[in-house]
Structure 1
Amino acid sequence: MITNDPYAELERRFARLSAVGRASAILNWDRSTMMPDGASDDRADQLATLGVIAHEIIAAPDMSDLLARAEEGRASLDPWRQANLREMRRSWVHESALPADLVDARTRACSACELAWRSAKKDADFKSLLPALSEVLNIMRRVGEAKAAALGTSLYDALLDEFEPGGRSVHIDALFAELRSFLPDLLGRVLEHQKRLPPIQPLDGPFPVEAQRRLGEELIRLIGFDFHHGRLDVSAHPFTGGTADDVRITTRYDEKDFARALMGVLHETGHGLYEAGLPRAWRRQPVGSARGMTLHESQSLLMEMQACRSDAFVAFAAPRMRAAFGKDGPAWSVENIHRLYTQVAPGFIRVDADEVTYPLHIMLRYRLERAMLAGDLPLADLPGAWNDGMRELLGVVPPDDSLGCLQDIHWPDGGWGYFPTYTLGALAAAQLFGAARRAEPGLLEAIGKGDFSPLLGWLRANVHGKGSIATTDEILTAATGSALGTSAFKVHLESRYLSA
């Protein structure tokens, strides 16, 4: 197809590609929340077909020529369009590296493996997952090899680049080395510090699911979640899906412990607010997408960890917690609830981990997925390697694989290269929240009144509204004064966990 305005033609095609992607997002959300198990094969076919359609749009034979011609006229484009063209090129490089049959095979294999994972996790039976997970791993190796050749990177970095544009393992290795240099000692100091404090009193349950749901909805409405453009539902593994105009967040409930679901809801709300705050004028174009998973995870962890585990927020939320469950007494005091929400203790489950031990969970997964992709760790040996790593890094060993290597959905779902962004996000969250507090001196006082508008307004201006106009480090530097590092995170941990 010949066009006199190649950039305009690219915008038209990427808008169509966006519509296919948004439809897939809703189907994926439904698969994990409401779809009956018997529909899994049909849903896999739907998603695979949409994946191939998307691939055919972006990998069309004339796309390379369109991109080249548009890039010749780059100087005539405004900054947003220049950035959009850059992101179009990046998307094309990733997608055109894969043949259509591999795109189809990946979607089908991941759909089948996710379904198998649900049963395997429930039964703590890793062996039952092994055939499906082996198929996913083999396909992801093929994907990584193809993309590595196109990008000129290692296999692992090619997969990482899908989730964090420009992300490289050499940078992660350096940041993780810095964390390893102080986290073990800090963890020991925090555990000793906690021993000197009065015992934490457990909250008396049970906590009915409906009461938990109402409490969660009340709090996230105050934070800024728009239920006219979003939903809260239940899934086996909490996640955020949908689209910027139709945000779908999920959690899972436990009537013995309402904090797990509540903090999960607050975490996913951070993701949802980021999606809802992306630049409206560019939502159908690559430049209007979230920059990458480092910033995405920074928004969820900023909301859950930095803001909603603060003294100020707990003081605001505690009376609402007491009212929600009809409780009272010393255990329900602000001080005791805050101690519960900031208790540090090595545990088995990543999503329930505290801020101090969480990076250690990620380091383990990062180590293991690199070894499996490289062929250095046979998949059948994953449970043993997982348990050995947990013993080494956290001093605990899961009693079964449900609490061990089966706890996360990411590998069955094809998310190889994703895990490091959780800890990169935690580092970014500390930087961003510190910068927000400096820019908005009354921010914590506002949070203590249930007013998140100063925080959300700052995030809209400095993160959400930027979309992908700049790199992660450029966005962080403009917002906080420095590129991604560990110092703000260390200061935050010492302040919160050693000063009480």
Structure 2
Amino acid sequence: MTAYAALEALNARAGTLGEALSILHWDQQAMMPAGGNDSRGEQTALLETMIHEIAAGPAMGEAIEAASAQNDLDPWQRANVAESRRRYLRATALPAELVAAKARAESQAFAVWQQARPADDFVAALPALRTCFNLARQAGQAIADATGQPLYEAMIAGFEPDLSVAEIDAVFDDYAAFLPDFLDNVLAAQHRREPPIPLEGPFDIELQKAAFQDIMGALGFDFDHGRLDTSAHPFCGGTPSDVRMTTRYSDGAFLDAMMGVVHETGHALYEQGLPAQWARQPVGQARGMVLHESQSLTIEMQIVRSQAFMTFAAPKLAQAFGKSGPAWSAENLASHAARVERSFIRVEADEVTYPAHVILRYRLEKAMLTGDLDLADLPQAWGDGLEALLGIRPPSDREGCLQDIHWYSGAFGYFPTYSLGAMCAAQVFAAAREQLGEVEAQIEVGDFAPLLNWLRTNIHSKASSGSTNEILMAATGSALRTDAFKAHLQRRYLDG
């Protein structure tokens, strides 16, 4: 066995354990009874420890060094060695005890959050949140010490490599300055138009599930390698060959649930499009969460909220719910889907105000990590920050700092990738439109194959063979920029 083959074997073992761990996380959020949480914490802690023993073990380090010396590797193999080295450096910074402690704490915190959020009880959630934060900070500092990165950048790199705080600050400060006048203009233009006709419910949840699965299939989701379930917070997990998606429903409205489904479908399509020949290898996994979020937001924001998509979907939705009349026209549904308003819930926000929700969380994370914000003061800081960005304050913590699962699962550093992903999505879709031609006409008749094939070729199949900007450069001719996003917003909300 060559050194490189030995490296692949180690990666495959760790990758298979990681797949099992991902299914356990899905089960915990979608299927597991509440009484199973303590056992699940021990299960995930053991799997995380086993993965860590491989990822940080001496055999991994030796295999990486020996494989690096081979001169017969092709570009993908060299990229696999490089990505293995990056992960090894992060893994060796963490003691096994810390890895296990984080897994247990995050499992327990999830159970606490599940109870605290509907009860609007931040005080009950605070101890678990503080434990998750302290352990995440401890792990981040260990990685920062090993890599030479600043603390927050080391934590962000767990979700998106090679992303600096200076880059994020520049993008977010620019958008925060752009938003107030643009939002006022959009709301004024919206006020001058007739409001959309209300969509009268109720909407049977089983009918919603069936309708949304039809839409998933039309978009290209492979149900032989994935499924849709229900959870308190929408997410996409599982493995590329067994994708597990969830959403949440209300019988009083269906568009929020539908947008959750199509958002997670974008994630799922990326996972299902990763190169199967590189399964369980670092190079075969999604590059990072900026590209991942770009794929979910290409589907949700660029496609599904468009007039072209509603031309395709309106008759299907009307039939699914047994409805008719002008409220169910493509124009009216598109007006609902593109409605802009200042709102409290991130996952239900429109694409104009959505970045403000992310900027808020990003600023709070920075303040927590520098010690400028104690977690006990988070509700007040949340309200102050949202008021500064959007001019509104949440009436409850359930609609404020308790709404997201991320911090209770230790995912500090994830939030910036959402809005960077939205900007990336606009850039990707603009390139696809330019290269494919009549994309809107194809969407109107439900022909999503040309666009999906373009995404497969230019984004999904690249996996981690290059950096985010290298993949974007090849696909769009440019590294990540913000002008395509602003142009998209201008076209949809002011010029349309």
- Identify whether the pair has TM-score above 0.5, normalized to the shorter chain: yes
1:375 Cα deviation after fit: 1.4
1:160 Cα deviation after fit: 0.1
Which whole-Å deviations, capped at 9, do the CAs of 1:407-434 have from their partners, x for residues lacking one? 0000001110000000010010000000
* Residues 14-163 of structure 1 aligned to structure 2 (within 5 Å): 14-73=11-70, 75-163=71-159
Provide the C-alpha distance between the structure 2 equivalents of 1:19 and 1:69, rounded to a whole number of angstroms. Answer: 23
- The answer on 1:8 being equivalent to 2:9 is no
Q: Give the counterpart of 1:343 among 334, 339, 345.
A: 339
Which whole-Å deviations, capped at 9, do the CAs of 1:316-358 have from their partners, x for residues lacking one? 1001111111111222222111110001101000000001000
1:5 Cα deviation after fit: 2.2
Counterpart position of 2:388: 392
Which whole-Å deviations, capped at 9, do the CAs of 1:431-481 have from their partners, x for residues lacking one? 000000011112111111111101100000000000100000000111111
* Residues 364-379 of structure 1 aligned to structure 2 (within 5 Å): 364-379=360-375
What's the secondary structure of 2:409's corresponding residue? coil
* Residues 482-497 of structure 1 aligned to structure 2 (within 5 Å): 482-497=478-493
1:202 Cα deviation after fit: 1.1
Provide the C-alpha distance between the structure 1 equivalents of 2:323 and 2:184, rounded to a whole number of angstroms. Answer: 34
Q: Which amino acid aligns with 1:349?
A: I
Q: Is the 8 A contact 1:362 1:419 kept in 2?
A: yes
Moved more, 195-204 or 27-36: 195-204
1:66 Cα deviation after fit: 2.4
1:498 Cα deviation after fit: 0.4
What's the secondary structure of 1:225's corresponding residue? coil
Q: Give the counterpart of 2:222 among 217, 226, 235.
A: 226
What's the secondary structure of 2:245's corresponding residue? strand
Q: Give the counterpart of 2:495 among 476, 496, 499.
A: 499
1:65 Cα deviation after fit: 2.7
Q: Is the 8 A contact 1:278 1:467 kept in 2?
A: yes
Provide the C-alpha distance between the structure 2 equivalents of 1:249 and 1:66, rounded to a whole number of angstroms. Answer: 35
1:177 Cα deviation after fit: 2.1
1:178 Cα deviation after fit: 2.1
Provide the C-alpha distance between the structure 1 equivalents of 2:106 and 2:256, rounded to a whole number of angstroms. Answer: 27
Q: Which amino acid aligns with 2:260?
A: G
Q: Which amino acid aligns with 1:203?
A: L
Provide the C-alpha distance between the structure 2 equivalents of 1:199 and 1:453, rounded to a whole number of angstroms. Answer: 33
Provide the C-alpha distance between the structure 2 equivalents of 1:331 and 1:270, rounded to a whole number of angstroms. Answer: 27
- The answer on 1:171 being equivalent to 2:167 is yes
Identity of aligned residues (%): 54
- The answer on 1:297 being equivalent to 2:293 is yes
What's the secondary structure of 2:229's corresponding residue? strand
Q: Is the 8 A contact 1:83 1:470 kept in 2?
A: yes
* Residues 297-376 of structure 1 aligned to structure 2 (within 5 Å): 297-376=293-372
Which whole-Å deviations, capped at 9, do the CAs of 1:258-297 have from their partners, x for residues lacking one? 0011110000000000000001110121000000000000
* Residues 174-213 of structure 1 aligned to structure 2 (within 5 Å): 174-213=170-209
Moved more, 54-63 or 404-413: 54-63
1:41 Cα deviation after fit: 0.5
Q: Which amino acid aligns with 1:240?
A: C
1:151 Cα deviation after fit: 1.3
Q: Give the counterpart of 1:280 among 276, 280, 289.
A: 276
Provide the C-alpha distance between the structure 1 equivalents of 2:150 and 2:372, rounded to a whole number of angstroms. Answer: 15
Unaligned runs of 5+ residues in structure 2 are none
1:185 Cα deviation after fit: 1.4
What's the secondary structure of 1:163's corresponding residue? coil
Q: Is the 8 A contact 2:266 2:296 kept in 1?
A: yes
* Residues 229-240 of structure 1 aligned to structure 2 (within 5 Å): 229-240=225-236
1:70 Cα deviation after fit: 1.6
Provide the C-alpha distance between the structure 2 equivalents of 1:270 and 1:67, rounded to a whole number of angstroms. Answer: 33
Moved more, 278-287 or 177-186: 177-186
Which whole-Å deviations, capped at 9, do the CAs of 1:350-403 have from their partners, x for residues lacking one? 000001000000000000011112211000000000001111101111110000
Which whole-Å deviations, capped at 9, do the CAs of 1:168-216 have from their partners, x for residues lacking one? 1111111112212322211111011001101222100000100100110
Which whole-Å deviations, capped at 9, do the CAs of 1:226-261 have from their partners, x for residues lacking one? 111100000000000000000111000011110011
Q: Which amino acid aligns with 1:27?
A: L
Counterpart position of 1:471: 467
Q: Is the 8 A contact 2:379 2:397 kept in 1?
A: yes
RMSD: 0.9
Provide the C-alpha distance between the structure 2 equivalents of 1:303 and 1:209, rounded to a whole number of angstroms. Answer: 22
Q: Which amino acid aligns with 1:16?
A: R
Provide the C-alpha distance between the structure 1 equivalents of 2:210 and 2:66, rounded to a whole number of angstroms. Answer: 54
Provide the C-alpha distance between the structure 2 equivalents of 1:63 and 1:200, rounded to a whole number of angstroms. Answer: 59
- The answer on 1:262 being equivalent to 2:254 is no
Q: Which amino acid aligns with 2:6?
A: E
Q: Is the 8 A contact 1:178 1:486 kept in 2?
A: no
Q: Is the 8 A contact 1:6 1:69 kept in 2?
A: yes
Q: Which amino acid aligns with 1:33?
A: A
Provide the TM-score with structure 2 as the length reference.
0.99
Q: Give the counterpart of 1:402 among 398, 402, 405.
A: 398
